[in-house]
Amino acid sequence: MRLEKLHALFLEHPIICTDTRKITKNCLFFALKGPNFNGNKFAEDALKKGAAYAIVDEQQDEDVENCFLVDNVLETLQKLSIFHRNHCSAKVISLTGSNGKTTTKELINEVLSRKYSTIATKGNLNNHIGVPLTLLSIKRDTEIAIVEMGANHKREIALLSSIAQPDYGYITNFGKAHLEGFGGVEGVIQGKSELYDYLIFNDKHAFLNADDDIQRDKLGHYIKKFGFSTERPDYYNIKFIEANPFVVIEVEDKKIETQLIGKYNFPNCCAAILMGKYFNVPLEEIKIALESYQPQNNRSQIIDKNGFKIILDAYNANPSSMTVALENLKLMDAKDKTLILGDMFELGVDAEKEHQAIADLAKSIAFKNVYFVGENFYKTSTSFKKFKTFDDLKKELIQNSIKKGTLLIKGSRGMALERVLDFL
């Protein structure tokens, strides 16, 4: 099937579904397949549930109508998204990084939507499937698309950049995330920097945190860059005031009081301010956007429950984000601090070392009430309480209640530590 014809079909049916459990009437069903699933087997079911057409790469029974056979469904989805991205007039901003991608994406969207018609990656649909789906959500009147790109190995950002073809790009930071796939911190730097490589090669615009030595080095003397800094006079200056617990910023003598906790969210806010300034969003509108934004989806949420002030940061975790979370809690003016920390995933051979480092950090900060949960934390040498499984932790907390006060809950998504809220 020719791409032009498929795109015309998409414009008539501009909803893409890849899961028969979420079929929307008159959508296009793309029969993706992977190691543990094969969407081709559900094409007929998708059509019966209301899909207008099914895109498949395995021959269906002759009596199944409205199926289009292609060589590879995933590649077809990606090519369709590229075609649509170039069909539309929207400018694309792509961002990646080890920590803070999703929050930064949300903040940028909040700021730019004060002046422009925008779309942004939903949730964390930031991989080789999610990026095409985001591009296909661009509408005729969309002016700016903010596309989050995630990766756990080298060359992945290069692929996603070739699909999104960003006009602008930003890297939040380089940290200890997905070390197993990247082969270490140097691999992380190389992998994430593929976004800047794309921008430079294609003469596009790069945003940067000019206080990050790696970002400054990567962009060097590249002309099409625009950065923020807390002290460098040749970049846009933004001042950090405090984070106790919420981040307070000063920019152009205007104070911005956010609802985001932790100094680690300061550069995320700065990126949104920087892009707002670049795209001529009035500073007062930027202030309104940042001050009204409330984190959700288990990302640095503040929850008051049964006498606890809970910092729920259970969406994801890696050694870098775990470290700054502990250091931020140390600086908070709060009594009776308790930590429930879950395993950090995808660390490979570094898992034992990195989990021990977090245990040692918690001890050096002199936290008293710390609960570790997960197989990796269970192996650490520590005097803090540790539990191999979540059920073991649950039994402990039910039998011995935590002293009410400030509670940090943080771990990788697979640990699902938000379940702790059910029995506090």
Position 283 scores a pLDDT of 98
pLDDT for residue 177 is more than 80: no
Provide CB contacts within 8 A for 59, sequence distance 6+. 69
Q: Topology of domain 3-71, per CATH? A: 3.40.1390
Position 155 scores a pLDDT of 93
What is the distance between the alpha carbons of residues 55 and 289, in angstroms, rounded to a whole number? 40
Q: What is the pTM of this model?
A: 0.88
Q: In the chain, where are the structural domains located?
A: 3-71, 88-292, 301-423
Position 332 scores a pLDDT of 86
Contact 30, 76 (CB under 8 A): yes
What is the distance between the alpha carbons of residues 328 and 263, in angstroms, rounded to a whole number? 7
Describe the chain by its helix, strand, coil percentages, rounded to 5: 40, 20, 35
What is the distance between the alpha carbons of residues 209 and 228, in angstroms, rounded to a whole number? 5
Domain 88-292: give its CATH code.
3.40.1190.10
Task: Give the CATH H-level superfamily of domain 301-423.
Answer: Mur ligase, C-terminal domain (3.90.190.20)
pLDDT tens for each residue of 82-133? 999 999 999 999 999 988 999 999 999 999 999 999 999 998 899 999 999 9
Structure tokens, 206: 């790069």
| Mean local confidence (pLDDT), 27-54 | 94
Cite the DSSP H helix spans in 113-193. 130-135, 156-164, 179-182, 185-192
pLDDT tens for each residue of 245-303? 899 999 999 999 999 988 999 999 999 999 999 999 999 999 999 999 998 777 778 89
What's the chain's average pLDDT?
A: 94
pLDDT tens for each residue of 68-82? 999 999 999 999 999
